[in-house]
A = this chain, B = another copy of it.
Amino acid sequence: MADVSAAAKGTVYLVGAGPGDPELLTLKAAALLRSADLVLHDDLVPEAVIAMANGQALVVSVGKRCGVKRVRQSEIHSLMIEAARRQLSVVRLKSGDPLVFGRAAEEMDALRAADVPFQVVPGITAAFAAAAQIGCSLTDRRTASSVELHTGHKAADAGPNVASESVTRVVYMPGRSFRPFAEERLGAGDAPALPCCVISRAAQPDQSMQWSTLGELADVIPGPAPVLLLIGWALADAAARNASGTSGEALRHLEEEPSQAAHEV
């Protein structure tokens, strides 16, 4: 077993909580959570992960819900800085990876300006958790030479307006309507048959998936947040398995029923 660090006093750790399944925390994230004096977490971090914090720790939700911020970004900065100056160890827990589509850049700037030592601990970002659930490689020598991670607000106009079918594209926080994105990609020349998977609450017990094609995507109504959209030819085999009733979701049954699941895979 590796020797795992405990949280140092006077230090802030920007920690990736992963996609939601507590087993997908890193050993380091779990050790820091167990030993930190103060835990500041986003709303998307599930209770099962927060419960891994030290029972003596002060745990504060600093997220926003339905777009309404409970705590301003500047207040998060002040909390982290003041706690570190009081020689507390601080874990700033962010869902997924802290350096992808979060406000980590601003938080690191504030910590640097205040001369507060910090460390970043990467986490499993939702794209890879979703791919594991689907049972589909994001890259495949046969179909996809690269992976792109976008956010919803920028997805439609990210990158040049030309066909890009040798890419697996993952859109974080795609919003409630896929129509603008679908129209943009079709307008750019991507094929209407391009497979799409909309996955709600990936790697959480109430995960759900909706399969479609780029041509049908505009009509898909996503499940509860967080939602992720995956699109690309790399998903073609998984889409076919889904259509024939042998979905990658069958993999979820493995832990309960390993022997019976053999024919579902």
Which residues in A have some Cβ–Cβ distance to B below 8 Å? 1-2, 4-5, 8-11, 16, 18, 21-28, 30-31, 34, 48, 52, 97-102, 104-105, 108-109, 111-112, 115-125, 128-129, 131-133, 135-142, 145-151, 154, 158-160, 162, 164, 166-167, 234, 237, 251, 254-255, 258-259, 261-265
Contact B255 A8 (CB under 8 A): yes
A167 to B158 Cα, complex, angstroms: 8
A261 to B162 Cα, complex, angstroms: 47
* Chain copies in the assembled complex: 2
What B residues does A105 contact at CB under 8 A? 136-137, 140-142, 234
Choose from B154, B159, B255 the contact partner of A5 (Cβ within 8 Å).
B255
Contact B26 A24 (CB under 8 A): yes
Known pairs A99-B128, A138-B100; A30 contacts B1 (CB<8 A): yes
Contact A160 B158 (CB under 8 A): no
The 4 A-B residue pairs whose C-beta atoms are closest, nearest first, are: A2-B22, A8-B258, A23-B28, A105-B137
Known pairs A131-B99, A147-B148, A154-B146; A31 contacts B27 (CB<8 A): no
Choose from B30, B115, B117, B135 the contact partner of A108 (Cβ within 8 Å).
B135
Q: A98 → chain B, closest Cβ, in Å? A: 8
